[in-house]
Homo-oligomer: A and B are copies of this chain.
Amino acid sequence: MTTTAPLPGVQGPDAQAALRATGLKVTAGRVAVLEALEHAPHVDAEAVLALVRDRLPGTSVQSIHNVLGDLVDAGLVRRFTPARQSARYERRVGDNHHHAVCSSCGRVDDVDCVVGEAPCLHADAPSGFVVAVAEVTFVGICADCLAAAAAEEPAP
């Protein structure tokens, strides 16, 4: 059955167009991953898997890694690794935004760089080093964790 049903989870023409533009084949899994990343800002592979399985049950863990790797290679998805955490993925928007990682709860937020463009790209890099991207990660404590810490330890 379902010989005529085209693809169970395909809904976004944006994702399909993006895939075609890069020369990758349009498959249900890839579209589902792209759409999942559309709604979830920066998630790890496990979260992507959970989101994808809502539409495509039976998707394997390895497939997620495979798809994510392909999308990263194709430039459709950006991968970054917060300190002490697993890799996270996001649809790249072209802007070079950075990330704020809470060292307490692990939460990740986007940060638009004040300079607007690429602030630190003109670093004093070793001679001959060609900078592709600058990964800027702000590590600190988010408001929630700060409040929680203050509540537990008001005045030492």
Contacts and interface: CB of A to CB of B under 8 A. Distances in A.
Interface string A91-109: 0000000101011000001
Given A83-B81, A126-B109, A128-B143, A120 B138 contact: yes
A130 B125 contact: no
A57 to B, nearest CB: 30
A135 B132 contact: no
A144 B126 CA distance: 11
A127 B100 contact: no
A134 interface: yes
Given A81-B83, A111-B125, A124-B111, A132 B146 contact: no
A98 B137 CA distance: 11
5 contacts: A111-B124, A112-B124, A129-B138, A131-B138, A135-B137
**What 5 A-B pairs are tightest by C-beta distance, nearest first?**
A128-B143, A131-B140, A135-B137, A132-B140, A109-B126
